Structure 1
Amino acid sequence: MPTDTAPAPGGAPLTLYMLHALGASAGSFDRLADELAGVVHVVGIDLPGFGSAASAPDATVDETVDHVIHRLAAHARGPWMLGGHSMGGKIAALVASRVLRGDAPLFGLRGMVLMAPSPPRPEPMDEERRALMLSWVDDGAISEADAETFIDQNTAEPLDAGAQSLALADLRRTSPTAWRAWLETGSRVDATAAVGTLDVPALVIAGADDADLGASAQPELLASVYPRAHFVTLEATGHMIPLERHLDAAAAISRFVAEEVGVGPVVPDEWVELIRSERVDARVRGALARRALPDDHGYAPAVLDMAQLTLLREIADLVVPQEGPAIDIAARVDAQLARGEGDGWRNADLPGDPEAYRRGLDTLAAAWPTDPSERSDRLKAAIEGDSDLDGPLDAAQLKAWLEDARNDLVRQWLAHPASMARVGYDGFATGGRPMRGYVELRLGRREDWEPANVGGTIATGDAA
Structure 2
Amino acid sequence: MLRPSAESTVTASTSSVSVIVVARSVNSPLTRIATTDRSVNRSKPSDTGCAPLEDHFNRCISHRLFNFSAAGRIPRPDAGYADVLVEWVHPPTEQRTDAVCPDFRTPIASSVDAPRSPRTERFDHGGFTLVASSWAPGAGAGSTTFVLVHGIGMSSRYFRRLAQALSAVGTVLAIDLPGFGRAPRPSGALSIEDGADLIAAYLQARGCEETVLVGHSMGSQFVAETAARHPRLVDGIALVGPVVDERASAPWQQGMRLLRDSLRESPTANWIVMTDYVRSGIRWYLTELPVMLGYRIEERILVVDVPVVVIRGARDPIAPHGWGARLATLSHDGRLVTVPGAAHVVQHTAVGTVTQILSDLAASAVTAGATGPGPLPTEPRRRE
Q: TM-score, normalised by structure 1?
A: 0.47
Which residue of 171, 174, 177 maps to 1:44?
Answer: 174
- SS for the counterpart of 2:319 is coil
Match of 1:407 in 2: none
Distance 1:54 1:233 in 2: 35
The partner residue of 1:26 within 146, 156, 161 is: 156
| Deviation string, structure 1 residues 263-309 (Cα, Å, up to 9, x no partner) | 37xxxxxxxxxxxxxxxxxxxxxxxxxxx466224379xxxxxxxxx
Match status 1:128 vs 2:233: no
Q: With structure 2 as the length reference, what TM-score do the two structures score?
A: 0.56
Residues 30-62 of structure 1, C-alpha deviation per residue, up to 9 Å, x if partnerless? 110111222132211112221112533332222
Q: Residue 93 in 1 paired to residue 217 in 2?
A: no
Which residue in 2 is equivalent to 1:117? 242
| Conservation of the 8 A alpha-carbon contact between 2:145 and 2:172 | yes
2:345 partner letter: M
More strand by share: 2
Q: How does 1:1-400 map to 2 (within 5 A)?
A: 1=118, 2-4=135-137, 13-53=143-183, 55-58=185-188, 59-100=190-231, 107-118=232-243, 124-125=248-249, 127-130=251-254, 153-155=260-262, 157-161=264-268, 163-190=269-296, 196-224=302-330, 226-258=331-363, 260-263=364-367, 292=369, 295-298=372-375
User: Does the 8 Å CA contact 1:122/1:189 hold for their aligned counterparts?
Assistant: no
Residues 48, 178 of structure 1: 8 Å contact kept: no
Fraction of identical pairs, as percent: 23
Distance 1:159 1:44 in 2: 21
Question: Which residue in 2 is equivalent to 1:144?
Answer: none
User: 2:203·2:233 contact (CA, 8 Å) conserved in 1?
Assistant: no
- Alpha-carbon distance in 2 for matches of 1:173, 1:24: 9
Distance 1:182 1:223, change over 3 A: farther
* Residue deviations 1:345-396 (CA, integer Å, cap 9, x gap): xxxxxxxxxxxxxxxxxxxxxxxxxxxxxxxxxxxxxxxxxxxxxxxxxxxx
Distance in 1 between the 2:250 and 2:316 partners? 13
Residue 157 of structure 2 aligns to a residue whose secondary structure is helix
Tell me how far 1:24 sits from its aligned partner. 1.3
Q: Distance in 1 between matches of 2:355 and 2:234?
A: 19
Q: From the two aligned structures, give the one with the greater helix fraction.
A: 1
Q: For residues 247-273 of structure 1, what are the alpha-carbon distances to aligned partners after superposition, in whole Å with 9 as ceiling and x for unaligned?
A: 221122223333x12437xxxxxxxxx
- Return 5+ residue gaps in structure 2 as ranges: 1-117, 119-134, 378-384
Q: CA RMSD in A?
A: 3.0
Q: Deviations over 1:441-462 (max 9, x none)?
A: xxxxxxxxxxxxxxxxxxxxxx
Q: Is the 8 A contact 1:49 1:177 kept in 2?
A: no
Contact 2:306 2:365 in 1 (8 A): no
Q: Which runs of 4+ in 1 moved over 6 A?
A: none
Alignment-mate amino acid for residue 125 of structure 1: S
User: Could you say if the C-alpha distance between residues 113 and 55 of structure 1 is closer, same or farther in structure 2, counting changes exceeding 3 Å?
Assistant: same
Aligned AA (1:22): I
Deviation at 1:165, TM superposition (A): 3.5
The answer as to whether partners of 1:207 and 1:215 remain within 8 angstroms in 2 is no
Q: Would the alpha carbon gap of residues 193 and 233 (structure 1) be closer, same or farther in structure 2, given more than 3 Å must change?
A: closer
Q: How many corresponding residue pairs?
A: 243
1:118 Cα deviation from its structure 2 partner: 2.1
1:20 maps to a residue whose letter is H
Q: Distance in 1 between matches of 2:296 and 2:289?
A: 13
- Report if the CA contact (8 A) 1:50-1:175 is conserved: no
Query: Using CA pairs below 8 Å that are at least 6 residues apart, which structure has the higher relative contact order?
Result: 2
Structure with higher Rg: it is 1
Distance 2:367 2:138 in 1: 16
CA distance in 2, matches of 1:215, 1:192: 15
Q: Secondary structure at the match of 2:303?
A: coil
CA distance in 2, matches of 1:169, 1:54: 17
CA distance in 2, matches of 1:164, 1:156: 9
